[in-house]
Structure 1
Protein backbone atom coordinates (compact mmCIF):
# COMPACT_ATOMS: atom_id res chain seq x y z
CA UNK A 1 0.00 0.00 0.00
CA UNK A 2 1.55 3.28 -1.10
CA UNK A 3 1.65 6.28 1.20
CA UNK A 4 -0.21 9.43 0.26
CA UNK A 5 2.32 12.11 -0.74
CA UNK A 6 2.39 15.22 1.39
CA UNK A 7 0.30 18.09 0.11
CA UNK A 8 2.52 20.60 -1.66
CA UNK A 9 1.88 24.06 -0.24
CA UNK A 10 1.88 27.02 -2.65
CA UNK A 11 4.72 29.50 -2.50
CA UNK A 12 4.25 32.81 -0.73
CA UNK A 13 4.05 35.33 -3.56
CA UNK A 14 5.10 38.27 -1.45
CA UNK A 15 5.11 41.89 -2.43
CA UNK A 16 5.08 42.91 -6.13
CA UNK A 17 8.33 44.54 -7.27
CA UNK A 18 6.55 47.78 -8.19
CA UNK A 19 5.52 48.16 -4.54
CA UNK A 20 9.13 48.04 -3.31
CA UNK A 21 10.65 51.50 -2.89
CA UNK A 22 14.40 51.92 -2.45
CA UNK A 23 14.82 55.16 -0.51
CA UNK A 24 17.72 56.81 -2.31
CA UNK A 25 16.79 60.48 -2.78
CA UNK A 26 14.58 63.24 -1.37
CA UNK A 27 11.60 62.26 -3.51
CA UNK A 28 11.54 58.63 -2.34
CA UNK A 29 12.25 59.80 1.23
CA UNK A 30 9.18 62.07 1.23
CA UNK A 31 7.08 59.25 -0.18
CA UNK A 32 8.30 56.95 2.58
CA UNK A 33 7.51 59.58 5.23
CA UNK A 34 3.98 60.04 3.87
CA UNK A 35 3.17 56.31 3.99
CA UNK A 36 5.09 55.22 7.08
CA UNK A 37 3.97 57.96 9.47
CA UNK A 38 0.32 57.32 8.58
CA UNK A 39 0.39 53.73 9.92
CA UNK A 40 -0.24 52.42 13.43
CA UNK A 41 1.69 49.17 12.77
CA UNK A 42 4.67 48.52 10.47
CA UNK A 43 6.65 45.45 9.46
CA UNK A 44 10.29 45.88 10.48
CA UNK A 45 13.59 44.15 9.75
CA UNK A 46 17.23 44.87 8.99
CA UNK A 47 19.92 43.18 6.90
CA UNK A 48 23.66 43.14 7.53
CA UNK A 49 26.59 41.88 5.53
CA UNK A 50 27.54 38.56 7.16
CA UNK A 51 30.74 38.25 9.16
CA UNK A 52 32.67 35.06 8.45
CA UNK A 53 35.81 35.59 10.51
CA UNK A 54 35.81 34.89 14.25
CA UNK A 55 36.25 38.03 16.32
CA UNK A 56 35.35 40.33 13.44
CA UNK A 57 32.64 42.88 14.29
CA UNK A 58 29.84 43.77 11.92
CA UNK A 59 29.36 47.43 11.02
CA UNK A 60 25.74 46.69 10.12
CA UNK A 61 22.94 47.01 9.69
CA UNK A 62 23.38 47.94 6.05
CA UNK A 63 19.70 47.97 5.16
CA UNK A 64 16.58 48.84 7.16
CA UNK A 65 13.18 47.62 5.94
CA UNK A 66 9.83 49.09 6.94
CA UNK A 67 6.58 47.88 5.41
CA UNK A 68 2.90 48.80 5.29
CA UNK A 69 0.27 46.26 4.15
CA UNK A 70 0.85 47.40 0.54
CA UNK A 71 4.32 48.95 0.35
CA UNK A 72 7.87 48.17 1.45
CA UNK A 73 10.44 50.91 1.93
CA UNK A 74 14.10 49.91 1.96
CA UNK A 75 16.70 52.25 3.46
CA UNK A 76 20.32 51.46 2.55
CA UNK A 77 22.68 52.85 5.22
CA UNK A 78 26.14 52.00 3.93
CA UNK A 79 27.63 55.34 2.88
CA UNK A 80 27.62 58.51 4.98
CA UNK A 81 25.32 60.16 2.44
CA UNK A 82 22.81 57.31 2.78
CA UNK A 83 22.97 57.51 6.57
CA UNK A 84 22.37 61.28 6.53
CA UNK A 85 19.44 60.88 4.13
CA UNK A 86 17.69 58.18 6.15
CA UNK A 87 18.58 59.00 9.76
CA UNK A 88 15.90 61.60 10.60
CA UNK A 89 12.97 59.59 9.23
CA UNK A 90 14.20 56.31 10.71
CA UNK A 91 14.58 58.03 14.07
CA UNK A 92 11.09 59.53 13.79
CA UNK A 93 9.43 56.21 12.93
CA UNK A 94 11.48 53.76 14.99
CA UNK A 95 11.44 55.89 18.14
CA UNK A 96 7.74 56.73 17.82
CA UNK A 97 5.66 55.44 20.77
CA UNK A 98 2.59 55.62 18.54
CA UNK A 99 3.76 53.21 15.81
CA UNK A 100 4.14 49.51 16.64
CA UNK A 101 7.03 47.84 14.79
CA UNK A 102 6.71 44.05 14.31
CA UNK A 103 9.25 41.56 12.99
CA UNK A 104 10.98 38.22 13.50
CA UNK A 105 14.27 37.67 15.34
CA UNK A 106 14.93 41.29 16.23
CA UNK A 107 17.41 40.46 18.99
CA UNK A 108 20.47 42.28 17.62
CA UNK A 109 18.72 44.80 15.38
CA UNK A 110 17.84 47.34 18.05
CA UNK A 111 21.34 47.47 19.56
CA UNK A 112 22.98 47.75 16.14
CA UNK A 113 20.68 50.62 15.14
CA UNK A 114 21.56 52.42 18.37
CA UNK A 115 25.27 51.94 17.71
CA UNK A 116 25.13 53.00 14.06
CA UNK A 117 22.42 55.67 13.90
CA UNK A 118 21.84 56.68 17.49
CA UNK A 119 18.27 55.43 17.07
CA UNK A 120 16.67 53.83 20.12
CA UNK A 121 13.83 51.65 18.84
CA UNK A 122 10.64 51.91 20.88
CA UNK A 123 7.34 50.03 20.79
CA UNK A 124 8.67 46.94 19.00
CA UNK A 125 7.26 43.40 19.06
CA UNK A 126 9.38 40.35 18.25
CA UNK A 127 6.95 37.86 16.71
CA UNK A 128 9.43 35.01 17.22
CA UNK A 129 8.61 35.25 20.91
CA UNK A 130 5.03 36.51 20.95
CA UNK A 131 3.69 33.83 18.57
CA UNK A 132 5.59 30.93 20.14
CA UNK A 133 3.90 28.52 22.50
CA UNK A 134 7.22 26.90 23.45
CA UNK A 135 9.86 29.10 25.12
CA UNK A 136 12.68 26.87 23.92
CA UNK A 137 11.53 26.80 20.30
CA UNK A 138 10.66 30.20 18.89
CA UNK A 139 8.51 30.56 15.80
CA UNK A 140 10.31 31.80 12.70
CA UNK A 141 8.92 33.62 9.69
CA UNK A 142 8.68 30.46 7.56
CA UNK A 143 6.68 28.56 10.18
CA UNK A 144 4.41 31.56 10.76
CA UNK A 145 3.64 32.05 7.06
CA UNK A 146 2.83 28.34 6.78
CA UNK A 147 0.61 28.46 9.88
CA UNK A 148 -1.39 31.57 9.02
CA UNK A 149 -1.43 31.48 5.21
CA UNK A 150 -0.80 27.84 4.29
CA UNK A 151 2.08 28.96 2.07
CA UNK A 152 5.84 28.49 1.89
CA UNK A 153 8.04 31.54 2.42
CA UNK A 154 11.17 31.07 0.33
CA UNK A 155 14.23 31.87 2.47
CA UNK A 156 17.29 31.49 0.26
CA UNK A 157 20.46 31.17 2.32
CA UNK A 158 22.44 32.40 -0.68
CA UNK A 159 20.52 35.68 -0.61
CA UNK A 160 20.32 36.01 3.17
CA UNK A 161 24.11 35.71 3.43
CA UNK A 162 24.81 37.90 0.40
CA UNK A 163 26.64 41.22 0.49
CA UNK A 164 24.11 43.65 1.97
CA UNK A 165 26.73 46.41 2.06
CA UNK A 166 26.99 46.46 -1.74
CA UNK A 167 26.39 49.93 -3.16
CA UNK A 168 23.88 48.43 -5.61
CA UNK A 169 21.55 45.68 -4.39
CA UNK A 170 20.12 43.30 -6.98
CA UNK A 171 16.41 42.59 -7.50
CA UNK A 172 16.54 39.30 -5.58
CA UNK A 173 18.02 41.05 -2.55
CA UNK A 174 15.39 43.81 -2.70
CA UNK A 175 12.55 41.28 -2.98
CA UNK A 176 13.93 39.14 -0.14
CA UNK A 177 14.34 42.16 2.15
CA UNK A 178 10.90 43.57 1.32
CA UNK A 179 9.18 40.21 1.88
CA UNK A 180 10.90 39.82 5.25
CA UNK A 181 9.39 43.04 6.56
CA UNK A 182 5.98 42.81 4.92
CA UNK A 183 5.36 39.14 5.70
CA UNK A 184 5.96 39.92 9.38
CA UNK A 185 3.31 42.63 9.29
CA UNK A 186 0.78 40.44 7.46
CA UNK A 187 1.41 37.54 9.89
CA UNK A 188 0.86 39.89 12.83
CA UNK A 189 -2.43 41.17 11.39
CA UNK A 190 -3.57 37.61 10.61
CA UNK A 191 -2.68 36.48 14.13
CA UNK A 192 -4.92 39.19 15.58
CA UNK A 193 -7.85 37.88 13.55
CA UNK A 194 -7.19 34.21 14.37
CA UNK A 195 -6.56 34.82 18.07
CA UNK A 196 -9.52 37.19 18.30
CA UNK A 197 -11.84 34.68 16.67
CA UNK A 198 -10.61 31.84 18.89
CA UNK A 199 -11.32 33.92 22.00
CA UNK A 200 -14.85 34.63 20.76
CA UNK A 201 -15.68 30.98 20.01
Structure 2
Protein backbone atom coordinates (compact mmCIF):
# COMPACT_ATOMS: atom_id res chain seq x y z
CA UNK A 1 0.00 0.00 0.00
CA UNK A 2 1.24 3.45 -0.85
CA UNK A 3 2.56 5.54 2.01
CA UNK A 4 0.27 8.43 2.96
CA UNK A 5 1.91 11.79 3.38
CA UNK A 6 0.63 14.09 6.09
CA UNK A 7 -0.75 17.45 5.03
CA UNK A 8 -0.72 20.44 7.37
CA UNK A 9 -4.06 21.49 8.81
CA UNK A 10 -5.51 25.01 8.82
CA UNK A 11 -3.89 25.95 12.12
CA UNK A 12 -0.43 24.77 11.03
CA UNK A 13 -0.77 26.63 7.71
CA UNK A 14 -1.78 29.83 9.55
CA UNK A 15 1.64 29.88 11.24
CA UNK A 16 3.62 29.71 7.99
CA UNK A 17 5.18 32.78 6.35
CA UNK A 18 3.10 34.19 3.48
CA UNK A 19 3.58 33.02 -0.10
CA UNK A 20 4.95 35.85 -2.21
CA UNK A 21 2.20 36.76 -4.62
CA UNK A 22 2.37 38.56 -7.93
CA UNK A 23 1.83 42.30 -7.62
CA UNK A 24 -0.12 44.44 -10.09
CA UNK A 25 3.14 45.20 -11.93
CA UNK A 26 3.21 41.55 -13.09
CA UNK A 27 -0.49 41.17 -13.86
CA UNK A 28 -1.95 42.12 -17.24
CA UNK A 29 -5.67 42.75 -17.61
CA UNK A 30 -6.86 41.59 -21.04
CA UNK A 31 -10.22 42.94 -22.17
CA UNK A 32 -9.87 43.64 -25.93
CA UNK A 33 -8.93 41.59 -28.96
CA UNK A 34 -5.69 43.56 -29.46
CA UNK A 35 -4.62 42.98 -25.82
CA UNK A 36 -5.55 39.31 -26.20
CA UNK A 37 -3.30 38.94 -29.28
CA UNK A 38 -0.37 40.37 -27.30
CA UNK A 39 -1.09 37.99 -24.43
CA UNK A 40 -1.31 35.09 -26.91
CA UNK A 41 2.17 35.85 -28.23
CA UNK A 42 3.67 35.96 -24.72
CA UNK A 43 1.83 32.89 -23.42
CA UNK A 44 2.56 30.62 -26.37
CA UNK A 45 6.30 31.09 -25.73
CA UNK A 46 5.87 29.18 -22.41
CA UNK A 47 5.67 25.35 -22.13
CA UNK A 48 3.03 25.36 -19.36
CA UNK A 49 0.58 27.72 -17.68
CA UNK A 50 -1.18 27.99 -14.38
CA UNK A 51 -4.88 28.04 -15.16
CA UNK A 52 -8.11 29.03 -13.45
CA UNK A 53 -11.43 30.75 -14.14
CA UNK A 54 -13.81 32.88 -12.07
CA UNK A 55 -17.56 33.18 -12.46
CA UNK A 56 -19.98 35.61 -10.90
CA UNK A 57 -21.45 33.80 -7.89
CA UNK A 58 -25.10 32.79 -7.96
CA UNK A 59 -27.07 33.33 -4.79
CA UNK A 60 -30.64 32.49 -5.78
CA UNK A 61 -32.02 28.97 -5.92
CA UNK A 62 -32.22 27.80 -9.52
CA UNK A 63 -30.06 30.67 -10.77
CA UNK A 64 -27.63 29.40 -13.42
CA UNK A 65 -24.24 31.02 -13.90
CA UNK A 66 -23.34 32.11 -17.42
CA UNK A 67 -19.65 32.04 -16.44
CA UNK A 68 -16.80 31.86 -16.63
CA UNK A 69 -16.52 35.62 -16.71
CA UNK A 70 -12.75 35.68 -16.49
CA UNK A 71 -9.94 33.32 -17.41
CA UNK A 72 -6.56 33.47 -15.69
CA UNK A 73 -3.38 32.13 -17.28
CA UNK A 74 0.05 32.49 -15.70
CA UNK A 75 3.69 31.73 -16.36
CA UNK A 76 6.19 31.76 -13.46
CA UNK A 77 6.92 35.41 -14.32
CA UNK A 78 3.57 37.00 -15.10
CA UNK A 79 -0.20 36.46 -15.19
CA UNK A 80 -2.91 37.51 -17.63
CA UNK A 81 -6.52 38.01 -16.56
CA UNK A 82 -8.87 37.76 -19.56
CA UNK A 83 -12.31 39.36 -19.27
CA UNK A 84 -14.63 37.34 -21.46
CA UNK A 85 -17.35 39.85 -22.36
CA UNK A 86 -15.59 41.11 -25.54
CA UNK A 87 -16.13 38.65 -28.45
CA UNK A 88 -12.63 39.19 -29.91
CA UNK A 89 -11.02 38.65 -26.51
CA UNK A 90 -13.20 35.58 -25.92
CA UNK A 91 -12.15 34.11 -29.29
CA UNK A 92 -8.44 34.37 -28.40
CA UNK A 93 -9.06 32.89 -24.94
CA UNK A 94 -10.85 29.94 -26.60
CA UNK A 95 -7.94 29.50 -29.01
CA UNK A 96 -5.42 29.46 -26.14
CA UNK A 97 -7.38 26.81 -24.24
CA UNK A 98 -7.77 24.63 -27.35
CA UNK A 99 -3.99 24.61 -27.99
CA UNK A 100 -2.37 21.22 -27.63
CA UNK A 101 1.18 20.74 -26.37
CA UNK A 102 0.95 23.24 -23.50
CA UNK A 103 0.06 21.98 -20.02
CA UNK A 104 -2.63 24.03 -18.27
CA UNK A 105 -2.33 23.24 -14.56
CA UNK A 106 -4.74 24.10 -11.79
CA UNK A 107 -6.83 22.88 -8.84
CA UNK A 108 -10.47 21.74 -8.89
CA UNK A 109 -10.86 22.15 -12.63
CA UNK A 110 -13.83 19.85 -13.32
CA UNK A 111 -16.38 22.65 -13.15
CA UNK A 112 -14.12 25.04 -15.08
CA UNK A 113 -13.83 22.56 -17.95
CA UNK A 114 -17.62 22.10 -18.23
CA UNK A 115 -18.24 25.84 -18.20
CA UNK A 116 -15.54 26.51 -20.81
CA UNK A 117 -17.15 24.03 -23.21
CA UNK A 118 -20.53 25.76 -22.70
CA UNK A 119 -19.29 29.35 -22.87
CA UNK A 120 -16.37 29.22 -25.31
CA UNK A 121 -17.41 26.23 -27.40
CA UNK A 122 -13.99 24.54 -27.17
CA UNK A 123 -12.76 21.40 -25.48
CA UNK A 124 -9.74 22.62 -23.44
CA UNK A 125 -6.57 20.63 -24.20
CA UNK A 126 -3.69 19.73 -21.89
CA UNK A 127 -5.65 20.32 -18.66
CA UNK A 128 -3.73 19.00 -15.67
CA UNK A 129 -5.60 18.61 -12.39
CA UNK A 130 -2.92 19.11 -9.71
CA UNK A 131 -5.07 17.43 -7.03
CA UNK A 132 -4.74 14.20 -9.06
CA UNK A 133 -0.93 14.44 -9.06
CA UNK A 134 -0.87 14.87 -5.27
CA UNK A 135 -3.25 11.93 -4.86
CA UNK A 136 -0.97 9.76 -7.02
CA UNK A 137 1.93 10.79 -4.80
CA UNK A 138 0.18 9.69 -1.62
CA UNK A 139 -1.45 12.87 -0.34
CA UNK A 140 -5.04 13.28 0.80
CA UNK A 141 -7.89 13.44 -1.68
CA UNK A 142 -7.96 17.16 -2.47
CA UNK A 143 -4.95 19.28 -1.61
CA UNK A 144 -6.15 22.52 -3.09
CA UNK A 145 -3.84 25.45 -3.63
CA UNK A 146 -3.43 26.22 0.10
CA UNK A 147 -2.35 22.69 1.01
CA UNK A 148 -0.03 22.40 -1.99
CA UNK A 149 1.74 25.71 -1.25
CA UNK A 150 2.13 24.72 2.40
CA UNK A 151 3.63 21.30 1.56
CA UNK A 152 5.94 22.40 -1.27
CA UNK A 153 7.04 25.87 -0.16
CA UNK A 154 6.27 25.85 3.59
CA UNK A 155 4.30 29.03 3.00
CA UNK A 156 0.74 30.21 3.52
CA UNK A 157 -1.33 31.04 0.44
CA UNK A 158 -3.76 33.81 1.31
CA UNK A 159 -7.18 33.98 -0.30
CA UNK A 160 -9.61 36.83 0.24
CA UNK A 161 -13.13 35.54 0.88
CA UNK A 162 -14.45 38.95 -0.17
CA UNK A 163 -12.70 38.78 -3.56
CA UNK A 164 -13.70 35.12 -4.04
CA UNK A 165 -17.41 35.92 -3.81
CA UNK A 166 -17.25 39.25 -5.66
CA UNK A 167 -18.90 40.02 -8.98
CA UNK A 168 -16.53 38.70 -11.66
CA UNK A 169 -18.90 39.85 -14.42
CA UNK A 170 -18.20 43.53 -13.62
CA UNK A 171 -16.77 45.52 -16.51
CA UNK A 172 -14.27 47.10 -14.07
CA UNK A 173 -12.42 44.65 -11.87
CA UNK A 174 -10.94 45.99 -8.65
CA UNK A 175 -7.25 45.70 -7.80
CA UNK A 176 -8.04 43.09 -5.16
CA UNK A 177 -9.99 41.03 -7.73
CA UNK A 178 -7.07 41.17 -10.16
CA UNK A 179 -4.54 40.14 -7.50
CA UNK A 180 -6.80 37.32 -6.26
CA UNK A 181 -7.52 35.94 -9.74
CA UNK A 182 -3.96 36.20 -11.07
CA UNK A 183 -2.43 34.55 -8.03
CA UNK A 184 -4.66 31.48 -8.21
CA UNK A 185 -3.15 30.78 -11.63
CA UNK A 186 0.35 31.88 -10.56
CA UNK A 187 0.38 29.54 -7.53
CA UNK A 188 -0.70 26.68 -9.81
CA UNK A 189 2.25 27.15 -12.21
CA UNK A 190 4.66 27.46 -9.26
CA UNK A 191 3.29 24.18 -7.85
CA UNK A 192 3.52 22.54 -11.28
CA UNK A 193 7.19 23.53 -11.56
CA UNK A 194 7.98 22.46 -7.98
CA UNK A 195 6.48 19.02 -8.66
CA UNK A 196 8.92 18.64 -11.57
CA UNK A 197 6.15 17.95 -14.08
TM, length-normalised to structure 1:
0.85
1:177 to 174, 181, 184: 181
Conservation of the 8 A alpha-carbon contact between 1:129 and 1:139: no
User: How many equivalent pairs are there?
Assistant: 183
Q: Check if 1:100 corresponds to 2:103.
A: yes
For residues 122 and 24 of structure 2, what CA distance do their matches in structure 1 show? 28
Q: Over residues 102-156 of structure 1, what are the superposed CA-to-partner deviations in whole Å (9 max), with x where a residue is unaligned?
A: 0011011111111111121011111122212356x31110000111111111112
For residues 175 and 39 of structure 2, what CA distance do their matches in structure 1 show? 19
Structure 1: where are the runs of 5+ without partners? 1-5, 194-201
2:3 equivalent in structure 1: none
> Larger Cα Rg: Structure 1 or Structure 2?
1
The structural deviation recorded for 1:87 is 2.7
- The aligned runs of 1:79-158 (5 Å cut-off) are 79=85, 82=86, 84-132=87-135, 133-134=138-139, 137-158=141-162
- The aligned runs of 1:31-70 (5 Å cut-off) are 31-70=38-77
Provide the secondary structure at the position in 2 that maps to 1:108. Answer: helix
The structural deviation recorded for 1:8 is 2.9
- Higher relative CO (CA 8 A, sep ≥ 6), structure 1 or 2? 2
For residues 90 and 168 of structure 1, what CA distance do their matches in structure 2 show? 19
For residues 15 and 139 of structure 2, what CA distance do their matches in structure 1 show? 26
1:3 equivalent in structure 2: none
Q: Over residues 4-59 of structure 1, what are the superposed CA-to-partner deviations in whole Å (9 max), with x where a residue is unaligned?
A: xx793111121121110001234422320111111111110000111111211111
Q: Over residues 155-193 of structure 1, what are the superposed CA-to-partner deviations in whole Å (9 max), with x where a residue is unaligned?
A: 121110111111111000000000000100100100118
2:28 equivalent in structure 1: 21
For residues 57 and 169 of structure 1, what CA distance do their matches in structure 2 show? 22
Provide the secondary structure at the position in 1 that maps to 2:50. Answer: strand
For residues 97 and 25 of structure 1, what CA distance do their matches in structure 2 show? 24
Conservation of the 8 A alpha-carbon contact between 2:53 and 2:68: yes
Conservation of the 8 A alpha-carbon contact between 1:101 and 1:125: yes
Q: Check if 1:188 corresponds to 2:192.
A: yes
Stretch deviating more after TM superposition (147-156 or 168-177): 147-156
